[in-house]
Amino acid sequence: MARIGFERLAHGYGTGGYALKPMDMVWEDAGAYALLGPSGCGKTTLLNIVSGLLRPSEGRVVFDGAEVTDLPPERRNVAQVFQFPVVYDTMTVRENLAFPLRNRGVPAKAANARVEHVAALLGLTAMLDRRARNLGADDKQKISLGRGLVRDDVAVILFDEPLTVIDPHLKWELRSRLKELHRQVPVTMIYVTHDQTEALTFADRVVVMSEGEVVQVGTPEALFDRPAHTFVGHFIGSPGMNLLPCAVAGREAVLEGGARIALPRAYPALAGKVELGIRPEFATLAREGLPVSLRRVEDLGRRRIARVELAGRPFAATLPEGMPVPAEPCLALDLARLHVYADGRLAEGEA
């Protein structure tokens, strides 16, 4: 169990520039965190810094108030589940699960009790005496996870895109089992993924990263309702947030074409590139409002997305259920859900 802190942490791989830009952050004990971002955003770098496989080039890593920056993985009490399942081929499932305990000199009897307990948690009891290498990828990932859980002093379990090689129909099962497990075993879990569904369903708090920078930390709801950065707005949600360049003065935004939109908050004078952001869920196609030209309608099964053009820019809006496509389509915006971004960052307005 551990509370994990980063103090002025940064990492460069020595090629100039940061793979991970300087940051300060605290992750609470027993939380379920997801590191979300596209490939190359630095999330695996951050994970390897937590596990100790990588030493950060700057700053400190702190577990429960004690600095661990220079400690190797085996002295940090971390467990890690990798992208490709790692099992020890020649051993049985039982021996695999007992391996971390044996390496730490835990007596055989106590070790066996722990192994049985963890196997029951993961649903591996029936296959304890089978050879690990004959199992499917999903069972192998459970074994990797089990090797982490088997140590009762484990501070944090790290998952590095653990579902990459799992069949789609098993992904869902494994994901919900993970979530359930986190409720039973209160241990800090950190889950790295580029799949927003995995991140949003697993985590209490999602850490969104882009180009080596943490752009937002928040609950799945917060990321959806109040993206702190245009990247978050665009990366989370499908389709992502609409962003329209505009000029903002007080309580009014003026789009490129001259269309005016009333804002829920008053904004001071903003410098840099100013954009208006709204999610497709809060922009519906209607008979009145901002006139737009319709390009096509996508039927996503559960809902329909209208791809339209507003002020010369592509825009995604919701086509309400049962509504025929209007002959002269207009946009109705849920004004409370409008956000203003200056140079990519959320601008605070006054009510």
Report phi then psi at 141, rounded to 5.
Answer: -65, -35
DSSP 121-180: HHT-GGGTTSBGGGS-HHHHHHHHHHHHHT-TT--EEEEESTTTTS-HHHHHHHHHHHHH
Closest to another protein by CB, 39 vs 103, is: 103
**Exposure on the CB side of residue 305, measured as CA atoms within 13 A:** 17
Candidate list 99, 159, 231, 282; residue touching another protein; CB under 8 A:
99
DSSP 297-348: EEE-SSSEEEEEEETTEEEEEEE-TTPPPPSS-EEEE-GGG-EEEETTEEPP
Stretch 112-151: interaction string toward another protein, x if CB under 8 A: -------------------x-xx---------x--xx---
Candidate list 38, 72, 250, 320; residue touching another protein; CB under 8 A:
72
Q: Hey, what are 32's tokens? A: 């379920």
Q: How far apart are CB 62 and another protein at their closest, in Å?
A: 19
Please work out the total of residues on this chain that contact another protein, with binding judged by CB under 8 A. Answer: 27
DSSP 223-292: HHHS-SBHHHHHHSSSS--EEEEEEEEEEEEEETTS-EEEEEEEE----S-EEEEE-GGGEEEESSSEE-
Q: Does 100 bind another protein (CB under 8 A)?
A: yes
Q: Hey, what are 177's tokens? A: 């089992």
Q: Does 78 bind another protein (CB under 8 A)?
A: yes
Q: How far apart are CB 273 and another protein at their closest, in Å?
A: 41
Closest to another protein by CB, 4 vs 79, is: 79
Candidate list 2, 79, 115, 163; residue touching another protein; CB under 8 A:
79
Contact assessment for residue 282 and residue 241, using Cβ atoms and an 8 Å cutoff:
no
Stretch 50-69: interaction string toward another protein, x if CB under 8 A: -x-x----------------
Q: How far apart are CB 116 and another protein at their closest, in Å?
A: 19
Q: Does 310 bind another protein (CB under 8 A)?
A: no
Candidate list 82, 201, 204, 254; residue touching another protein; CB under 8 A:
82
Q: Which parts of this chain interact with another protein (CB under 8 A)? A: 51, 53, 72-74, 78-80, 82-84, 86, 88-91, 99-100, 102-104, 131, 133-134, 144, 147-148
